[in-house]
């Protein structure tokens, strides 16, 4: 088996509006509807609609031999329903071809797997229901945790939830001499298959494609196929995992990214012995070569491939810890608005904006952040969280009085 597995993460957060200290106790609406709508419409026009149409054409042109996989966060799906129903319909058309796989994840693109097994399972269950509701009863078999965060224990929990496989990063410090181009199994629960991102080939498309200073610029299909053909013959699967917004948003149309993808399947079929497969097909047909041991969580972010994009500095840890101190109180609440805001406040993007890294990774963080600085992001989030805590206190007081 020699195959390529394309996986696309599709996610947009609910962004917080500027929330000042004097608004605590006065304003319980935290979300920047104007920015969320405008950003969603922009990404839909630049990425989702044109790329979905291109993928649909490629699937039909190649009679289903070209296949891809998506993970659509729950809050992304909510925003598509509200702001861009035509984009949601285009995703539904892709899935209806039978050649596009959907994965489950945490509904709110949350970091809860690092803090609470109960919340993790609950968040995944809500996402399962949303996928079932919007995609004609679809039931994913494979899981993708937020930002490909994975450890042995997270994988064990995912297996307990009934999944056959999980995606994560092929981090060098985990693999050592091993290749990411094979199927592995979870170190605790071998029933769970593990697919590892080939980060070099993935990032050639996702990050370096339009970089004119890159020594291999411009990236052509013939050049990419040549690199694929250099992969040892015994290697079974090349996992190309990336943000869907790579196409048209991070790499603008003017870079040629759409034309690259338009011609890539033909180049692969004509110039290699590779096919295209979905994650489920990979785990069904490729035999695992051994266990992958990940005692400390990894992710696909930054050079370190660890958690420091979201957790690790004092700002991030304070905000994250304060949020999850509220878990039991939130679960005791009967207020649906409390539960909604609790989910939205868990979204990993809020903590990403608080990252204080500099140099190359810092540039990437600044690109995605709506704030002037990580400190502004922290202050805004903590102001919102202070009001959220006040709402919980008022509800608990009223419950006692009644």
**Tokens in use for 384?**
């919102």
End-to-end Cα spacing for the chain: 65
H/E segment holding residue 224 = helix 221-229
Active site residues: 147
Indicate the pairing of strand 275-276 with strand 237-243. Answer: unpaired
Q: 58 and 265 in contact (C-beta within 8 Å)?
A: yes
Can the peptide bond before residue 218 be classed as cis, meaning omega within 30 degrees of 0? yes
Dihedral of CA atoms 74, 206, 144, 176 in degrees, nearest 10, equals -160
Indicate the pairing of strand 165-169 with strand 193-197. Answer: parallel
For residue 96, what are the CA distances in angstroms to 76, 144, 250? 19, 21, 27
CA 314 to chain centre: 24
Strand order across the 193-197 sheet? 142-144, 165-169, 193-197, 183-186, 291-292
Instruction: Compute the distance between CA of residue 29 and CA of residue 13 in angstroms, rounded to an integer.
Output: 16
DSSP state, residue 302 = T
Largest CA distance in the chain: 74
């Amino acid at each position: 088996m020699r195959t390529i597995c394309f996986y696309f993460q599709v996610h947009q957060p609910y962004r917080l509006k500027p929330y000042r200290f004097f608004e605590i106790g006065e304003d319980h609406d935290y979300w920047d509807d104007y920015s969320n709508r405008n950003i969603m419409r922009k990404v839909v026009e630049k990425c989702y609609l044109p790329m979905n149409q291109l993928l649909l054409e490629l699937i039909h042109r190649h009679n289903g031999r070209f296949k891809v996989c998506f993970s659509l966060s729950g809050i992304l799906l909510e925003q598509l329903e509200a702001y861009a129903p035509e984009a949601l319909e285009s995703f539904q058309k892709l899935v209806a071809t039978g050649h596009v796989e959907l994965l489950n994840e945490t509904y709110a693109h949350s970091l809860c797997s690092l803090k609470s097994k109960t919340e993790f399972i609950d968040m995944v269950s809500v996402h399962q229901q949303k996928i079932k509701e919007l995609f004609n009863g679809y039931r994913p078999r494979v899981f993708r945790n937020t930002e490909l965060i994975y450890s042995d224990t997270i994988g064990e929990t995912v297996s307990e939830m009934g999944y056959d496989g999980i995606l994560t990063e092929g981090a060098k410090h985990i693999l050592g001499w091993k290749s990411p181009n094979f199927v592995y199994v979870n170190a605790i629960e071998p029933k769970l298959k593990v697919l590892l991102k080939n980060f070099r080939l993935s990032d050639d498309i996702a990050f370096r494609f339009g970089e004119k200073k890159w020594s291999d610029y411009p990236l052509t299909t013939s050049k990419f196929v040549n690199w694929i053909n250099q992969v040892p013959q015994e290697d079974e699967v090349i996992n190309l995992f990336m943000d869907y917004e790579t196409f048209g948003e991070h790499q603008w149309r003017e870079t040629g990214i759409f034309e690259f993808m338009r011609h890539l399947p033909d180049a692969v079929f004509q110039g290699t012995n590779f096919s295209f497969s979905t994650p489920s097909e990979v785990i069904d047909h490729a035999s695992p070569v051994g266990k992958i041991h990940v005692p400390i969580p990894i992710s696909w972010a930054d050079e370190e491939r660890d958690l420091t994009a979201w957790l690790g500095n004092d700002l991030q840890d304070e905000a994250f810890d304060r949020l999850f101190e509220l878990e039991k109180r939130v679960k005791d609440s009967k207020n649906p608005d409390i539960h909604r805001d609790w989910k939205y406040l868990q979204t990993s993007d809020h903590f990403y904006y608080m990252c204080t890294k500099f140099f190359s990774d810092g540039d990437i963080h600044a690109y995605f952040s709506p704030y002037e600085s990580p400190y502004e992001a922290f202050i805004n989030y903590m102001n919102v969280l202070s009001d959220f805590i006040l709402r919980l206190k008022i509800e608990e007081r009223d419950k006692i009085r009644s």
